[in-house]
Amino acid sequence: MKKLGLLFIFVLLLGCGKDADHYLEEGNAYLRRGDMAGAIGMYEKAVEADPSNYMAHNSLGAALSSIGDFERAIGHFRTAVAVNDSFLEGHYNLGRGLAEIGSYDFALTELREAIRLDSTYALAYLTAGDIYSARKMADEAADAYRRTLRFDPNLMIAYLRLASVYVGAGEHDRALEVLKEARLRRPEDAEIISMAGRVAIMKRDFGQAVMFLNQAVGLDSTQFAYRNDLATALMLGGRKDEAVEQWRRILAGNPDPELARAVRMNLSRAETDTSR
């Protein structure tokens, strides 16, 4: 089953009962230190101290989700919104959890409730887009991602996912337009720029692809995949010697075995290709 893999929302606020408050604070302290097991233990104590504390149920659910225990997490999110039906983050987290286990219809119901409570809640639109994308509903996914960006134009993952929808539909020009907009907002995001390079390769605009991929390599030379894409663009654009140089650089950097095999194959083909 496809994991949608985004964030769950912790709400680091005080609870209702004195003991629950104490355990919530302790759990939050563990969370800030990166000790998820400790945080879960404290949140469980908060829930035991005050079963009607929706903040405690939400925090415990978010912590459980972070370790992949979605079934237990969903139970706590359900309790949170049962106690407080206007709890925005609770509906969002419940939708996220349901999406993770593939219960898409129920997930969309919760996400729509989050949007009803706050029509500008970008993460709810983003998660809805992920569900539509998983269901191969390209138009609905694109609309949800566009709404995400309307309310949070700095959410880079939405640009990547919207561009991916357009690529899947063969709309490379639109995908590249989205990625260029993202690049304007974050000009040193190598992932955004490298994807623009790959889309340009699909468009067979190898000059533009080389420009993007050179920039991506310059921003993060440790990502051999960027350099491999650059070599591919160079080769397809008729610049064989430069492509060979890039592939040799990858091999000199000791890449993972799978990439190394692919690079050796490409290098062998390039070196035996006498057409120029």
pLDDT of 109 reads 98
For 145-174, letters b (16+ CB in 10 Å) and e give: bebbbebbeebbbbbbbbbbbbbeeebbeb
Instruction: With residue 220 as reference, give the H or E element that holds it.
Output: none
pLDDT of 14 reads 41
Helical spans, DSSP H, in 16-171: 18-32, 36-49, 54-66, 70-83, 88-100, 104-117, 122-134, 138-151, 156-168
- For domain 207-276, the CATH class is mainly alpha
Q: Record the tokens describing residue 153, joined without a space.
A: 């134009």
Q: Tell me: the pLDDT tens digits for 105-153?
A: 999 999 999 999 999 999 999 999 999 999 999 999 999 999 999 999 9
In the chain, where the domains are located: 1-100, 207-276
Q: Kindly list the distances between the CA atom of residue 93 and the CA atoms of 74, 76, 112, in Å, as whole numbers in the listed order.
A: 8, 10, 12
Per CATH, 1-100 and 207-276 having the same topology is answered: yes
Q: Is the dihedral of CA 74, 80, 82, 88 positive or negative?
A: negative
- Greater pLDDT, 203 or 276: 203
In CATH terms, is domain 1-100 a member of 3.40.50.10740? no
Angle (deg, nearest 10), helices 122-134 and 104-117: 160
